[in-house]
Amino acid sequence: MVAYVLFIVAVALLFDFSNGMNDAANSIATIVSTRVLSPRTAVLWAAFFNFVAAFLFETHVARTIGTGLVVPEVITPHLILAALLAAIVWTFFCTRKGLPISVSHALIGALAGAALCRAGAGALYWPRLAIVAAFIVLSPLIGLLLGTGMTIGTFWLCRQQSPRAVDRVFRVLQLVSAGVYSLSHGLNDAQKTMGIIFALLMSVPSLQRWATHDGNPASHQLAWWIILSCHGAIALGTYLGGWKVVHTLGSRVTRLRPVDGFCAETGGGVTILAVSHFGIPVSTTHTITGAIFGVGAIRRPTAVRWAVGTEIVTAWVLTLPMSAAIAAGLYTLVARIVG
């Protein structure tokens, strides 16, 4: 059993790595498209802040994923493995297509699909899932509103400055906004994998002591090895990057200037930091995409390639049901093969 659980932990870290690859676009698309940093320097910048988030925040989101979505008695290593594999399959497929999906919702959908397959509707905490589902819509809208508001306010403050002076200032400020956004990304997204590993270990009584910092299963402090390994995996995925996704958000949606990138990253980062405080596992992808659309549309509606937005939203809509269906099939397969 120990070897099997360690294998699933490795799969969880692979999922975390794939999360970093797809969501590299969230962290660096704007700063690359505005040419403030080269692509490789940008991913190093983002990867650093993804990792630093491990030392700065509480693990509220991890506890939501680990104990707040699926009834603990239903969780087994087979269920966790099926959910992780399903989320990885869907994430890699969309990354190859250049679609910035919500890796968070791929994982949540996969967890729900595997749990429903194992124990039916009673396996899920539906009110908590309803909150997560609501933020599928709310997070891009909040990002759009904050990105739009930041853009309007910034343009008003800089209305008497020359375009060259504004560009020079915001090339520096965008380093800060990209750091803030990458920090928020590491905070929310790495914690989802932490929650999965925590739930996995707690499902095996003999391994529960490895899930917490002090070895007490009732403790709320996750073990540091879980925290650091998850942040390390997502930082490595961000460093290697999903370059097709970067191209989609950085140049296919709209043309961005440093001031636009600053507003989009700040709006998205503030949104994620705020909801993470309440333990809500939102989509960083949805949030930054909404902010980019808001920033582009404030210049003029035709500045945004709405057809690209339709492709992105279609992938968002398909993520929950597709990952759930894949997970249900994989759970049945894993249960039969492993026994």
- From start to end of the chain, where are the E strands? none
Which residues have a Cβ under 8 Å from the Cβ of 34 and sit 6 or more positions away?
171, 174, 256, 257, 258, 260, 261
pTM above 0.85, yes or no: no
pLDDT of residue 282: 74
State the CB neighbour count (10 A cutoff) for residue 320: 21
Neighbour tally for 159: CB within 10 Å: 8
CA dihedral 33, 35, 38, 42 (to 10 degrees): -60
- The CA–CA distances, whole Å, from 281 to 45, 254, 284 equal 24, 27, 9
Q: Span 14-31, mean pLDDT?
A: 73
What is the domain extent for residue 27? 2-338
| pLDDT above 90 (res 65) | no
Computed over every residue of the chain, the mean pLDDT equals: 81
Residue 329: Cβ within 10 Å count: 15
- Say if residues 66 and 279 touch (Cβ distance below 8 Å): no
Q: Give the pLDDT confidence score for residue 198 in this predicted structure.
A: 92
User: How would you label 233-254 residue by residue, b for 16+ Cβ within 10 Å and e otherwise?
Assistant: bbbbbbbebbbbbbebbbebbb
Q: How many domains are contained in the chain?
A: 1
- Identify the residue with better confidence: 315 or 117: 117
| Mean pLDDT for the stretch of residues 209-222 | 80
pLDDT (tens digit per residue) in 233-288: 888 887 776 555 555 554 544 566 778 778 888 888 888 888 777 777 777 777 87
